[in-house]
Chains A and B, each alone.
Chain A
Amino acid sequence: MDKFEPWSEPLAREIIARHAAREGAVLPMLHDVQNTFGYVPEPVIPMIAEVLNISRAEVHGTFTFYHDFRHEPAGKHVLKFCRAEACQAAGGDHLCARAEQKLGVKIGETTADDRVTFEPIYCLGLCSVAPSAMLDGKIYGRLDEKRVDSLISEARR
């Protein structure tokens, strides 16, 4: 079963209506849309603008500002590597390079078969058990070569 719903305009309208009465509703709406469809489909932008009576440009501006919001679906699995200082200090650079080589993509890219999207994340707050990573929302600390390899084979499955 797929984690996400296929695009549906009525469902999108329903999600947006759910948050319409909240103060500063744009981020909660975008989050909810993305959690449902896996990304923020383009038709959502004017829908939000209409409900909140603000301009499309303003919603588009908000949408494009934040790293979290996706313009298109990610690969089947999302592997995020922490690339911040504490993980760098604990050998994260080497492990990131190893993951890039094993996956055959650079960080920030998706594998050609759409299996794995490999992304940087700036700090999971696991700096005392660094280096750390997140695979499909599940967190992993004290990474070493062996643990990275097993994460990658899990993501490839």
Chain B
Amino acid sequence: MSTKIYIPGDAAAVACGADEIAQAIAASAKKRGKEIQIVRNGSRGLHWLEPMLEVATPKGRVAYGPVTLSDVESVLDAMLGDGKHKLSHGIADEIPWLKNQTRLTFARCGIVDPRSLDDYKANHGYKGLAKAIAIGPEKTVEEVTNSGLRGRGGAGFPTGIKWKTVASTSADQKYIVCNADEGDSGTFADRMIMEGDPFVLIEGMTIAGMAVGATKGYVYIRSEYPHAIATFTDACEAGRKGGVLGKNILGSNYDFDIEVRTGAGAYVCGEETSLLESLEGRRGQVRAKPPLPAIKGLFGKPTVINNVLSLATVPIVMEKGAEFYKGFGMGRSRGTMPIQLAGNIKRGGLYEVAFGITLGELVDEIGGGTASGRPVRAVQVGGPLGAYFPRAFFDTPFDYEAFAARDGLIGHAGVVVFDDTVDMAKQARFAMEFCAIESCGKCTPCRIGSTRGVETIDRIVANNDRAKNLEVLEDLCNTMKFGSLCALGGFTPYPVMSALTHFPEDFGATPKLPQAAE
């Protein structure tokens, strides 16, 4: 009987040598005359254990990691023998880090073969779409609205409301656009879904298309993600062959197809209107709203534009129902969030859990503190536009409103940990510098403000007319916050002001008094 061995094809595993290990395992098995079947699955999200190999046993899948090339022979011995090995973690599903999660969006990621439609269907795949087809478009929109699902890209806008606007706008052509331009540092959940469970995104987009009357979908994937582009493109091809993309989806009267488009290295294209401009073949410059994309979006047609995670969560909402999904979470943040632990962290990876877990639990308990072993000094949540929080804020629950109340944001739920060697003035300067590099140039506060911001921070750190320049910086941040067209200029003040407020000692000789913490 052939032994089934899982070796992730996820980019995080590949970056740590998974491809070479897969080759070595195959070669070694051949030399031993043992028949094995290698599945290139996605990642389970325990990235400090990547490459994490698994072998199917009668008791379940047994995990080994982190495996290096020099471990290949002994790991294969264990896999084909008694299972004893210093890198063994036992049954993968029983690893506490994994077991304690609530995996809804990521239920299949790391488990299935991402390129196999049959595997997807055998693991609850297409149950959500089947239900959506059975209850019809109106009830589907209602179900998504009732689930309380909010946009996972960062803005947190209710997904169902967006869909309703598109559904009720009549047009000869409507579009579903998936925003897979995951540019925030510290985030990789979209990438993991596209590499580990692409059919869940295809199914989610198809449900959206059916619900609002759109027959065409675009997925805009950033060029920095070649593995995601490859896996997702293969999955679309398999979907077309398997009758889940194209005409008469699942034998219904609905048609839907998806085209993959590649970005070209512009961070601002993660902003929805800029992304639409880019898809249309132009400079990725932000559009003023209104009109909303839901009314006049791609090529002037009504368009649903949602993040990968929002769309990938729709199938489970449809399968299990709004009430089930809504049962998780706190306040107005319903359901679960795939949180990404990154940077200087001991146990980094993807942790999906209901809203409400505190930042401290995430960083200290789940993440295990820093990889360097030094004390955690600052945590940036929500990418380059997110605030830096000090340890004093570790009691903040993961919730859109709770973060906003402390002048922070959840964004796409990336958590980047810094130890005590970090220079917060440098981080603040980088935020302004990054905004200057990536600004689309359309509005003045962002285009000019960011460059002036870099200069002003330099003057403050050099103790050059400090008091006056601190005022200038604050004023500049206010202008950017309230005068910018989109979140790039509008949110860059978050990392800058939070660094200045919580870590004034890094900004030179006479620190500004910190504002009273809550």
Contacts and interface: CB of A to CB of B under 8 A. Distances in A.
Interface residues of B, number: 63
A137 B226 contact: yes
Contacts of A14: none
B408 interface: no
A141 interface: yes
B368 interface: no
Nearest to A132: B15
B165 interface: no
Task: Give the size range of A's interface with the partner.
Answer: 35 or more
Interface in B140-196: 182-188, 191
A79 interface: no
Contacts of B186: 84-86, 127
A140 B15 contact: yes
A156 to B, nearest CB: 21
A126 B188 contact: yes
Q: Give the most central of B185, B188, B299: most A CB within 10 Å.
A: B185
Nearest to B284: A65
A127 B343 contact: yes
Contacts of A52: 281
Given A27-B278, A139-B14, A142-B16, A128 B187 contact: no
A30 interface: yes
Nearest to A65: B283
A42 to B, nearest CB: 18
A123 interface: yes
Given A24-B280, A90-B343, A90-B371, A125 B224 contact: yes
A127 B188 contact: yes
Contacts, number: 154
A27 to B, nearest CB: 6
Interface stretch (A3-11, A66-74, A97-105, A110-118): A66-74
A12 interface: no
Contacts of A30: 264
B371 A123 contact: no
A18 to B, nearest CB: 15
A21 B15 CA distance: 37
Contacts of A132: 15
A40 to B, nearest CB: 11
A17 to B, nearest CB: 16
Contacts of A86: 185-186, 342-343, 414, 416
B101 to A, nearest CB: 15
Question: Nearest 4 pairs between A and B by C-beta?
Answer: A128-B348, A26-B281, A84-B185, A141-B15
7 contacts: A30-B264, A62-B282, A69-B264, A85-B430, A91-B372, A125-B225, A126-B188
